[in-house]
Structure 1
Amino acid sequence: MSMNNPFHNPAFSMSAMTAAINFLPNQYGRLDELNLFPLKPVRTRQVTVEERNGVLSLLSTQPVGSPGTVGKRGKRSLRAFNVPHIPHEDVVLPEEVIGVRSFSTESELETISGVMADHLQTMRNKHAITLEHLRMGALKGVILDADGSELADLFDSFRITPKTFDFQLSNKETDVRQKCIDLKRYMSNALKGERMSGIHVLVSPEFFDLLSGHDKVKEAYHLWQEGAALRDDMRSDFRFAGVRFEEYSGEASDADGKSRRFIAAGEGHAFPLGTLDTFATYVAPADFNETVNTLGQLLYSKQAPRKFDRGTDLHTQSNPLPMCHRPALLVKLKA
């Protein structure tokens, strides 16, 4: 190992650091826990989504020996989306590794690796909450940048009118069960032949309080398990009429320090679970010489010495594009 600059060690190469930052635990991301947006690596910085308005119909019986029915081709349309490029940088200063040199031992490398891991974990967390913000945008149909500017409007791109259900929870006479059934019927029709295992709704704390405190809901739960749902904390898994509601309080600060909630007060966003190919996160390769024409990874990391070796610059980047291939299934709820 070079004693002039320990970062010349192969342990701090681009491939090693990229593997390390992808191995670090994700400290934030409910949508990541739900595995709603599986990763799909691509080789380019632009993703083209093909839409097929296929026709599903019943096949009629035919006499033996007669020709079969002819399948109808669905119309195809292509839509291109640019993959966002999200770089982030930090620096390891000499003061952070002063006093750790020990000749011909591995302790120096281990200590410097620890310092590097601390920096990478902090950077990893920032990328994680940024990805959560982008995925929540895709779940709402409009992907926004950190400053609130629009990156992609899925409804406009697919020429779909956004669907909103007003639950009218402030009205004590509202039939909440019927509202849930109407939501399920709409989602089933919007699947267009796709399957789902259930409906999940992420709601704001205000929406959840109005829902769980509604007279009709409380009456329905009164005799179920002796009213356990009315006594316990059900914010993470509140089921009513076959729909799962979950309180979601995700938020983050932008570059100006202004906190932004991912779900507005009194709102919720419904989506299907268990579909085949409704959601995805496309990840493009980094803009490094080493990554040209390679399949993208979620995160990349690289280091380089500063001028006069006055520290080491750390560079991380992510190139993710969360996507919903069926925006008609993205339903907004209002309390």
Structure 2
Amino acid sequence: MPSLDIFNDDAFSMASLTRAINEQPHVPGMIGAHGLFTEEGVTTTAVTVEKDGDTLALVAAGERGSVAANVAGSKRKLVTFNTIHLPQRATILADEIQNVRAFGSETDLETIQNVVNKRLAKMRRNLDATVEFQRIGAIKGALLDSDGVTELVDIYDTFGLTQDSVGMALGTDGTNVRGKVITAVRTSEDALGNTTATGYRAYCGDAFFDAFIDHPKVKAAYERWLEGEFLRNDPRAGFLFGGVFWVNYRGKVGSTKFVGDDDAYLVPEGVPDLFATHYAPADYVEAANTIGLPYYSKQEAKEMGKGVLLEAQSNPISLCTRPKAIIKLTKV
């Protein structure tokens, strides 16, 4: 009787599984969906960043022994950030595969591949959520671990910068909210210098967003817009006020929300290379010194052929190259 060897079949090699996990339908978070971050693979496990004033720039890798790029001026500083290794493992037992085979068949590859793909899809969703969490951390200035507390990278502290913030005083009815918004935008523009943003977007925590849309000055601005449609409908998907597009950000790790309830972050859009996610190669022999991919997957047989161990991983680092241009907004 013909038999399918799932442990040696090319359809389950690292290359095939990596291609499968990268081809799965992507379900991005809000930051990923808005396309703020450029993505690029690197051949190393670390990314070097140069600080020139308040601007950070990625430094290109060079061949060993070649002439290095000249770095002039005492105010420049080189710092290396290690990419963050995000591995996941799962076990698929032989009995689990047996239960999903077509009845009476040992040669139906599709049913076995379906089991693997379903597990890869779950791993992919976990990795997507983690990369999204890392990207919102880059916006906020600190990348945190999955517990939402442990700090992995503090961009401001590393480069000796402080975060600019604007208190919106949303608890006071007479606050000139539009004036506060313009102040925040001007602060960001000052940090950008000669670089011009095409627009601004604010990612708001729940309490901040509720206080913002309920403020008398904001409500008054929309009373007559489309006969009060804004005041009747759910505005969480976003709306324009003071030249800024305001959205209610959703996302959390455990009980820790990606954006604090009482906070918001003003982000310039259309600024070249403002945000970047770099992916390092996986820690597999086959991937060493190759250009990193967003996702990898590999499998190996369990002892005595009882099942298969499946691993998926990503090795990203997300950074903001002009952290002073990101303005933290507070409800008070």
| Higher alpha-carbon deviation: 14-23 or 96-105 | 96-105
Aligned partners of 2:101, 2:249: CA distance in 1, in Å?
Answer: 47
- 1:232 matched to 2:233: yes
What letter corresponds to residue 165 of structure 1 in structure 2? V
* Matched-pair contact (CA < 8 Å) for 1:201–1:271: yes
Output the TM-score relative to the length of structure 1. Answer: 0.88
Q: CA deviation at 1:73?
A: 7.7
* Matched-pair contact (CA < 8 Å) for 2:275–2:319: yes
Please, which of 278, 288, 293 is the counterpart of residue 292 of structure 1? 288
Cα 1:334–1:83, aligned 2, differ >3 Å: closer, same or farther? same
Aligned length: 314
How do 1:105-116 and structure 2 match up within 5 A? 108-116=108-116
SS at match of 2:194: coil
How do 1:190-209 and structure 2 match up within 5 A? 190-209=191-210
Cα 1:4–1:237, aligned 2, differ >3 Å: closer, same or farther? closer
Q: CA deviation at 1:169?
A: 0.3
Q: CA deviation at 1:101?
A: 5.9
SS at match of 2:319: strand
SS at match of 2:220: helix
In structure 2, the residue matched to 1:19 is 19
Q: Mark the structure with the bigger radius of gyration.
A: 1
Q: CA deviation at 1:239?
A: 1.2
Output the TM-score relative to the length of structure 2. Answer: 0.89
In structure 2, the residue matched to 1:78 is 78
SS at match of 2:98: coil
In structure 2, the residue matched to 1:146 is 146
Q: CA deviation at 1:99?
A: 5.2
- 1:327 matched to 2:323: yes
* Matched-pair contact (CA < 8 Å) for 1:54–1:73: no
Percent identity over the alignment is 38
Structure 2: tracts of 5 or more residues without a match: 56-71
Aligned partners of 1:307, 1:106: CA distance in 2, in Å?
Answer: 21
SS at match of 1:179: helix
Please, which of 260, 272, 297 is the counterpart of residue 276 of structure 1? 272
Which whole-Å deviations, capped at 9, do the CAs of 1:230-277 have from their partners, x for residues lacking one?
A: 122221112111011100121122xxxxx2211111111111111101
What letter corresponds to residue 298 of structure 2 in structure 1? K
Aligned partners of 2:88, 2:239: CA distance in 1, in Å?
Answer: 38
* Matched-pair contact (CA < 8 Å) for 2:138–2:318: yes
In structure 2, the residue matched to 1:256 is none
How do 1:1-335 and structure 2 match up within 5 A? 3=3, 5-53=5-53, 76-98=76-98, 108-147=108-147, 148-253=149-254, 259-335=255-331
Which whole-Å deviations, capped at 9, do the CAs of 1:125-172 have from their partners, x for residues lacking one?
A: 111111111111111001111132111111112221111111010000
Cα 1:235–1:103, aligned 2, differ >3 Å: closer, same or farther? closer
Q: CA deviation at 1:188?
A: 1.1
* Matched-pair contact (CA < 8 Å) for 2:141–2:323: yes
Q: CA deviation at 1:105?
A: 7.9
What letter corresponds to residue 11 of structure 2 in structure 1? A
Aligned partners of 2:213, 2:102: CA distance in 1, in Å?
Answer: 62
- The Cα RMSD (Å) is 2.3
Q: CA deviation at 1:330?
A: 1.7
